[in-house]
Amino acid sequence: MTPLATLAADLAARRTTGRALVEAALERIGDPDGEGSRVMLSVFANGARAAADAADALRAAGVRLSPVAGIPVSVKDLFDVAGMATTAGSVVLKDAPPATADAPVVARLRQAGAAIIGRTNMTEFAYSGLGLNPHYGTPRNPWDRATGRIPGGSSSGAAISVTDGMAAAAIGTDTGGSIRIPASLCGLTGFKPTARRVPTAGVWPLSRTLDSVGPLAPTVACCAVLDAIMSGVDPVIPAPLPLAGVRLAVPLTLVLDAVEPYVAETFAVTLSRLSAAGARIHEIPFAALAEIPAVNARGGIYAEAWAVHRRQIETARDRYDPRVAARILRVSNMSAADYYDVLRARERLIAEADAITTPFDAVVLPATTLAAPPLAPLEADDDLYVRINALMLRNTFCFNFLDRCALSLPMHRRGEAPCGLMVVGETLGDTRLLAVGRAVEAALAA
């Protein structure tokens, strides 16, 4: 995987062309021995070639371009693309009316010159952290294709499009962890911004309160560039903070429970490396985290998913992934009063969490409690699926519920199972988080 900055430098120096990058991506998508058929639900070959050719022509004319101009980028299947139905990884929406316009984030990427290569597979309606899709197949994790392991979800195809060279970067969504989980399991960097910073218009919703749009890419700097473009600001990459003296909080409440030994050991080694690089590690109680599962025990904030699906599922339930339908129906009897209680509890817990984390530069914890498990047992056993899905989502969801921005950075040793370090910032503290993330990334690469 090549960082966007390296690709941009190669393009500027005429060592490659946008057209060559797009053709290479299309070749990987079309490889009959690869994952392309399970990763890409739509391929925009002609449009991507046209965008790359336009960028190449402007560069040849001496025009200074954006850092993504001519570079292939994939988008998740729940983003509107003008002239196409938005299917959200489902067969239910195959005959939906075509979108009349691109989603704003897609439009902003196009305006920056990105070559939108296609739309990627996902968990149906973005409602699982595992990445399984019975309609279109499940992309296999690049770490252990012989076994056949899950990619993580819901932005499953987004992750594999980057690891397998079908795109230089991918745009996904994150409601409960759907960017950071596949980033963690596949060895990528994933960035979930503070939800309100990037527009979600033209994006099929799951929870309008929690939905956020962000990138999966090789580095923090790549994520910063894409986040800036989608946020509508100049793509300036925050300089890394000096790690010496940076205060990192490690919650001792909930998020380290039931973490598999491999991930726990990798996290402990990571903390030691950060400490050796000068970071100050503080283990802290974090009572607000312990309340979040109870607040959402009956479905909680995901009552918003029932609001989105309630009419459609009445007429098309037999066409849904049964596991997705079961999760949606679980909150069908939740009252307005119960939902109101969840929102008020969320306000209280956000305030409590803010008071706990204000003295620190970031919170750090394992992004996922386990490395990627094999796919076949999860396909065969509903109870196992439910248990592993809940465990996979637990750590990431907590900080979505608390309205935070967060990164997942690779923390595993080369050749071992990928697992991610989650670095959490303050609400709307995205720029500072990216600066901290760059410092952490550099220390772990040393």
* CA-based nearest residue to 420, from 258, 177, 64, 207: 177
CA distances from 81 to 87, 88, 124 (A): 11, 12, 18
Structure tokens, 441: 């990334």
Enumerate the active-site residues.
76, 154, 178
Tell me if the bond preceding 154 is cis, omega within 30° of 0: yes
Q: For the purposes of burial, counting CB atoms within 10 Å of the CB of 358, is it exposed (0-12), middle (13-18) or buried (19 or more)?
A: exposed
Q: Where are the beta strands (DSSP E) in 126-255?
A: 169-173, 189-192, 213-217, 247-251
DSSP string, 39-100: HEEEE-HHHHHHHHHHHHHHHHTT----TTTT-EEEEETTB--TTS---TT-STTTTSPPPS
Residues 6+ apart with CB under 8 A from 61: none
CA–CA separation, 110 vs 76, rounded Å?
A: 15
CA–CA separation, 112 vs 72, rounded Å?
A: 12
Residues 6+ apart with CB under 8 A from 386: 323
